[in-house]
Amino acid sequence: MGMSLFGQNASPNGATIEVPTGFATHLRWIPRLGDIFPNFSIPYGDGEFHFHDWAEGSWVYFFSHPQAETPVCSTEIADVAAHGDELARRGAKALNISTDSAEVQQAWIAEIERIFGVTVDFPLLSDPEGRVVSVCDMVHPHEDALLCVRKGFIIDPSLRIRMIFEYPLNVGRDFEEVLRVIDALRATDHNDLVAPGGWMPGDPLMVSPALGTAAARDRFGARLRVLNPYMRLLQPPRTR
């Protein structure tokens, strides 16, 4: 159960977000790996968007951008939209948020679709009062007092935060890295494997330090290549 940080009465049409219990109200919660992403509700279209209802059961790429109708942000939204099939293939979906108004977002989406020839079919949430984006540590005052940084979360189907990254206002993100990390998490979760630096799907994985070499030999047999006690490569299964 979370604590309701912002009462409905304070702002009848605004966003609400629940932070985990166990945090005193005078301490600021900062999202960290392994945390359950807080539930939040925010006006969307003619209704309300409820984050946990929408996200649970899927991999989610939740990302903020600084401002609509700017060059880098336009390319980032187009890049995510162009990879819609790649997300769906992984059981993943995208969600964007910013402090732009919903009206500005709608006009901007139409322009992105026109220029880049894509369909933007994931939600862009509007948080003009900055309630959700500030609790989720998407505004960094030394970067900009009002605009979001380019923050990205990968959230797993049980709503846990599995990756966090932050880019400055003037550098756009590479969406291929988001897909690579989702692939790496899916390939290594719950099996004592880890993905080495630069890993791409089809490359060998490695055995986690948590699993001894004898146990790894028992489990993986001839696919295991032991270089030393801590560098143990697992060749991918042969495909014909």
Looking at the Cβ atoms of 40 and 61, the one nearer to ligand BEZ is: 61
Residue among 9, 170, 228, 239 that touches ligand BEZ (CB under 6 A): 170
CB of 138 to ligand BEZ, least distance (A): 13
Query: Binding of ligand BEZ at residue 66 (CB under 6 A)?
Result: yes
Task: Name which of 73 and 109 has its Cβ closer to ligand BEZ.
Answer: 73
Q: How far is residue 41's CA from residue 16's CA, in Å, rounded to a whole number?
A: 5
**Interface pick for ligand BEZ out of 36, 72, 164, 211 (rule CB under 6 A):** 72
Q: Give me the least distance between CB of 156 and ligand BEZ, in Å please.
A: 28
Site for ligand BEZ contains 169 (CB under 6 A): yes
* In the complex, minimum distance from the CB of residue 67 to ligand BEZ, in angstroms, rounded to a whole number: 5
The residue count for binding ligand BEZ (CB under 6 A) is 9
For ligand BEZ, which stretch binds (CB under 6 A), given 19-27, 64-72, 179-187, 224-232? 64-72
Torsion angle, CA of 148/4/2/132, rounded to 10 degrees?
A: -10
DSSP 92-151: EEEEEEESS-HHHHHHHHHHHHHHH-----S-EEE-TT-HHHHHTT---TTT-SSS--EE
Under the binding rule (CB under 6 A), the answer on residue 19 touching ligand BEZ is: no
Query: What letter represents residue 147's amino acid?
Result: L
How far apart CA 37 and CA 61 sit, in angstroms, is: 12
Burial of 128 (0-12, 13-18, 19+ CB in 10 A): middle
- The nearest distance, CB 39 to ligand BEZ, in angstroms, is 29
- Binding of residue 73 to ligand BEZ (CB under 6 A): yes
- As a whole number of angstroms, the distance between CA 38 and CA 20 comes to 7
Phi/psi of residue 44, nearest 5 degrees? -150, 125
Establish if 109 lies at the interface with ligand BEZ (CB under 6 A): no
- Please give the DSSP secondary-structure letter assigned to residue 187: H
- The Cβ-side half-sphere exposure at 205, using a 13 Å CA radius, reads 21
Catalytic residue among 73, 94, 95, 169: 73
Helices (H) and strands (E) in the chain — how many of each?
7, 13
Check binding of 67 to ligand BEZ (CB under 6 A).
yes
> How close are the terminal C-alpha atoms of the chain, in Å?
49
Question: Interface residues for ligand BEZ in 137-166 (CB under 6 A)?
Answer: 147
* Residue 136 is a catalytic residue: no
- Least separation in angstroms between CB 129 and ligand BEZ: 19
> Which active-site residues does the annotation give?
73
- Contacting positions for ligand BEZ (CB under 6 A): 66-67, 70-73, 147, 169-170
